[in-house]
């Protein structure tokens, strides 16, 4: 998946998740069956989560392989133990998922012990919670290192729940106080990522799979390789086109101007000769 994301899709980073199931799950939930049995990889939710988790040594291997082929590695962290482990890998950025953005003890740990950028999603988050998060990052002196992502937390979501103009709100509200605004997209399709860039998103995050029919809830909200490649291509094309001219007559226009451009002075001289 990393190789395809790099060579075929051309993305800049791959991002994984790290969580300690015993720290994350409540005891009753940990011992109960998975709520959607057809997606379960164990007889209990705890067994399911343990089956899916990579050990920190496996993350080290993934990071080393990513760096070897020239793509960045990052990770979302869901608890204090995972945060401490991923901090030890020193990725370029650590992601705080929407579900954990009010885990203030974890945020403080990352602010104090990690010097890289902090990427944070704002799905299922009230304005009061958003302000409290940003106040903490500001007090810690880390708001300037933070990328705030607009996100709607559903897997997948209908287009009517994307709310792209939230990108404008984040930019207007936080402006130069943060590093950038991002878009974490959970809709099915590829048509809204380039417009998100147009509205100010400097980072675009998409879920990625090799087969959307695979077992699990996230695959339906993910892009297969060709979709991710097209998102990357369309966004870059828009970025290249979205600029003003740096000269009145562009280099590509010079030869065409010589051949095609009507010259009023020449027409005037012809008229006078008659």
Residues 129-160: tens digit of each pLDDT: 999 999 999 999 999 999 999 999 998 999 99
What's the rounded mean pLDDT across residues 66-72?
98
| Beta pairing partners, 118 | 94, 146
pLDDT of residue 216: 77
Instruction: Reduce the DSSP state of residue 71 to 3 states and report it.
Output: coil
Is residue 121 domain-resident?
yes
Is residue 188 domain-resident?
yes
Is residue 71 domain-resident?
yes
Residues 163-216: tens digit of each pLDDT: 999 999 999 999 899 999 999 999 989 999 999 999 999 999 999 999 988 887
104-113 and 127-139 are packed helices; what angle lies between their axes, rounded to 10 degrees? 30
Place of tokens 């403080």: 108
The count of structural domains within the chain is 1
Considering only residues 250 and 34, tell me which one the structure prediction assigns the higher pLDDT: 250
Is residue 270 domain-resident?
no
pLDDT of residue 19: 92
Most confident of 9-23, 112-126, 234-248: 112-126
pLDDT of residue 45: 83
Is residue 260 domain-resident?
no
Range of the domain at 240: 2-246
pLDDT at position 263 over 70: yes
The token duo for 229 is 């490649």
Considering only residues 48 and 2, tell me which one the structure prediction assigns the higher pLDDT: 2
pLDDT at position 273 over 60: no
pLDDT at position 217 over 80: no
* Residues contacting 219, CB < 8 A, separation 6+: 209, 211, 212, 213
- If one counts every other C-beta atom within 10 angstroms of the C-beta of residue 186, the result is 21
Is residue 202 domain-resident?
yes
pLDDT of residue 30: 81
Is residue 263 domain-resident?
no
Rounded distance between C-alpha atoms, residue 172 and residue 145, angstroms: 17
- Backbone dihedral angles phi then psi of residue 15, each to the nearest 5 degrees: -130, 130
Percent with pLDDT over 70 in the chain: 96
Is residue 94 domain-resident?
yes
CATH number at residue 145: 3.20.20.70
Rounded distance between C-alpha atoms, residue 102 and residue 208, angstroms: 26
């Amino acid at each position: 998946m990393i190789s395809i994301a790099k060579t075929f899709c051309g993305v800049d980073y791959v991002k994984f998740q790290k969580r300690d199931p015993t720290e994350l799950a409540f005891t009753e939930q940990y011992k109960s069956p998975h709520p959607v049995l057809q997606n379960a990889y164990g007889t209990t939710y705890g067994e399911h989560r343990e089956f899916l988790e990579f050990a920190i040594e496996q993350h080290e291997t993934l990071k080393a392989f990513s760096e070897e082929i020239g793509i960045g590695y990052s990770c979302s962290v869901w608890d204090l133990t995972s945060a401490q482990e991923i901090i030890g890998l020193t990725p370029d950025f650590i992601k705080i998922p929407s579900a954990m953005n009010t885990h203030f003890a974890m945020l403080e740990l990352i602010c104090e012990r990690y010097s890289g950028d902090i990427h944070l999603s704002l799905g299922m988050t009230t304005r009061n919670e958003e302000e409290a998060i940003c106040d903490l990052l500001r007090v810690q002196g880390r708001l300037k290192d933070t990328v705030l992502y607009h996100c709607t937390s559903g897997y997948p979501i209908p287009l009517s729940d994307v709310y792209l103009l939230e990108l404008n709100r984040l930019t207007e509200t936080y402006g130069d106080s943060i590093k950038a605004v991002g878009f974490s997209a959970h809709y099915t399709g590829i048509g809204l990522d380039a417009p998100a860039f147009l509205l100010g998103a400097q980072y675009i995050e998409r879920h990625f799979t090799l087969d959307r029919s695979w077992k699990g809830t996230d695959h339906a909200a993910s892009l297969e390789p060709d979709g991710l490649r097209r998102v990357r291509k369309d966004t870059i094309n828009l970025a290249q086109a979205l600029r003003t001219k740096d000269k009145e007559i562009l280099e590509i226009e010079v030869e065409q101007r010589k051949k095609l451009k009507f010259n009023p002075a020449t027409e005037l001289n012809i008229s006078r000769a008659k």
